[in-house]
Structure 1
């Protein structure tokens, strides 16, 4: 195991290493040692080192001296070499880089000598000071991590509220950094965001990357803002963006601010398709529709001109967030402004701080804003709405995003708001809405088709999200469940390597048994993962054959009891012809072992040591029922709806090891038999699992 950072620095060694311990010669008389042993400044556990030519011969304690002095006739001038206690364990300078090694060496002694390679005494290591130094360093690191997480959370909340994508890129595309704004996070996993700190040739074709970088070079060359539109293909879907590139002063990099205009482009394409369809099928209205289409194109061109002018005006301000038409505010739990950045015209950032909505807006506007913000505080869930406010006597439309703001303990301490003026867009939408009223009847059929397509896309997206979640849970499970067994194996092997020649055969065999048991546990984990994988891909076969249920259950009970170190007793009962004597019991023995072994293992794992487990099998003519009842920790009500999900574990399992695959495997095996499973549980009272399987199953591939 590598050493901990707090103990790598030579200065940190002084916290627990005494480099100049009190040393005496072995020929020193006892009478000269007594004053030091009785000194009130000496700690009770501090030993006296006996050295010769800087080499440690042993230790002398106050107890050793008292034993001699207990005899009135004892010679007080006896040389101290007669009271030396030999050195049992020592540390080397290399051990200073391994805290776990130092802790192991000092487990049963307060003081550990540090010996140089040439045999000289380098100092004494105090176990109490060693543990205290480690505790102080860990506490400081925890406080630093907490402060960093709080700062990072506040910055991320502010950036997530932004709808634009903000990039920093140079002319050669060597470095691209993207702020984790809302637009980026909607199209990427938060644990693996795309494009962040990536070079351009890592995510674009060479030809595309050159087209992407051409406006960057033009902006850097002319030192002017460059605006243009471009498209990218993400998961086979084209996305359109309107971008403004601003050169950074005295730098070879530029700020790239892009807004998603895919919806607008889709509307333009839909309108073009509808125009073509109307020209082909409605001859009598060709001229009317052509005129409407031309008018619509003019409106779209005007809207593009307005948006381009708006972009150019916005990007002439400061770099980064001031280039974006977004206003950001934070408020406390009383909904009073605590910070404002780039507020809308007519509002001043400094005068806003400390005020509430009623002191800034009209009564109706303040009430509407306050209702939205109070709902976010109560539900602890963000919202995004379009609202109309009166500022300076004018009606303005805003795209408002409100998110809760958390403190380090997880409690909501306020909100963060981001707003963007969309008045021009709303006015344009109203104009388009007026023009489209005449086309509503014809567009209905096309709208239905688009809605159906959107539903299919949402279903595909949901399936992709479920797959990503399953992968994430698999990685979490494997990193946790495999780390502990591997650590056990490595630790046992290291101890056998270093101390095996000193141990008895019985002790060495116990460590070998621990390695074998851990390897068997890892093998079972891999088998469970392989079984789930086969079930998910439809490769988990089903082959029923005659089975002696009574013998199979008794064998499983014996196997589970051998690996059970908590001494549970299994009360097994069976009713009916469970040995197959009267008629054949057609079941898949391999899948049946998976079902019963996982249920028995869960009953033992989540029950207190020494408790009993009831196992009953009832065989009838057309079906067989298995019931396993324990008196363990039970299943919380909130976890019952997730019982059969892969890698899910109950919130009350504590540090009990497990993968969350057991009940998932049981459910898939029961389904292949065409049976059903019922679980009755009460938290703290125990769990009863009943599996019913029909007999004489037809063979399935």
Structure 2
């Protein structure tokens, strides 16, 4: 039978041209014949293969292998220090010999490995951001969640896939219709959506979730699935609620305090008015009756007791000549004027008052004596005071004096400041989380979708004549994996910077040779016709810097210049040495940075408004700035829209070794 096959022209053509390795082995496991694919697969020539034991190519013993007829055996084999993954199948011929077919599946195995590793990176990225991911198949109406998404819903990690209705059943009744309406509208319009809603856990506890979803369509334009991420914002919601409650409590306290101050001011005004009238007519009253004298003394004693014990404040009466007629209160010592300002003191003689404060005080006296009731706040001796003034009438019903009541409101101001700072911090945190969720859902989804699509196409194209297309898809997978690695490295760098784990470790080196090497390294990401013009002032410039941090800085700025410039554009890279300073300049002819965005370009997760369609995380320049400052440098830039941008970095030229 074997002789007939050898003489068969069709078999010979198949045998010689097959992409799969073919061996003919006798019953004693010696190789009788091998096609060219075997020689290429194992890196051997024809003489090295013929009469060789088949166990040298297949690790399983031949007698055991013969028992696995028509079964596919998978194994690995090292060929010239390279690990290959192979599949073998054995067929017995009529003459007692054996036909063994071997297929190289190394590429598909590596693709599977990359997909698994990328899925793990995605899981870790979502876990760092405390994000749950899910997918809803609109055709089968099944919702599949990851482990953290199940945790957000209070479910066990091994719970079965959910339906849309059972998902709605878990939503708080007050939020259910709104969620249903927004999701339906997004599916109808094939658009993205963002929602905040409450979820009820199996233990009846209520949690707030922030969700972003995107609708995907099939080739016919019909919505077929929804993919999204979810984040627990219960702490944020509870903080906002607490801030509102604190604001309401502070507002009520301020109203009560204001009411109390007005009541006491009114009482004091009445008392002082009576006292002033009593003092003005004291001689007449003595002649009329001794009882009037007693009444006046009693009133004065009451006023003194009230004024001296006036809590956290000062009461003073000033006449129309800007002279102090009366001053008392517990706050005199806090104001630093106890014993320095007494009855008869003229405002211009108060040494602890600045000229500006004296003028303001006299102006307030003038307005009050003319009949105005004033209420305002002042800062004095690191304290805040609420000041209320009231005009005082004499017995002729003319205003000759002004009552000033100072109330210390420093504690109230501190409470207001704390609440304001807390609110600003919560708002900033909310903005950062929203930016992270938006960026992560976009930047991870795009490369992962490309990887998945390419992997599916590779599986479909696994046949002779499709090698070029398979190679193209593998290149796409490698490119997108590289993009994911760049994104994850940015996250890792930012995390280390925030934890204070990045420390500059300077060494001496020639920055010109260092930069030339970087320019060569970045060649692979250039667009068609792009060039980098490197212009060092000298060929040998010794610096004392951290090479790892400097490489990240220069690589990021050069890659940005290439990414935001069109094809056939030139990027200029200059290095200049001046007196004790090293200057780096990187200039492009790209899209530029809008003026309204320039003050925010070094903030985390911030991207210019004209770069929304270009991939990026918004972390690169923030990390570059922090690395520059770690080495004692400064960075700034100039840019014109649609004309390009120039970044300037300045380092001290420290030649220490």
Pick the TM interval, shorter chain: 0.3 to 0.5
Q: TM-score scaled by structure 1?
A: 0.40
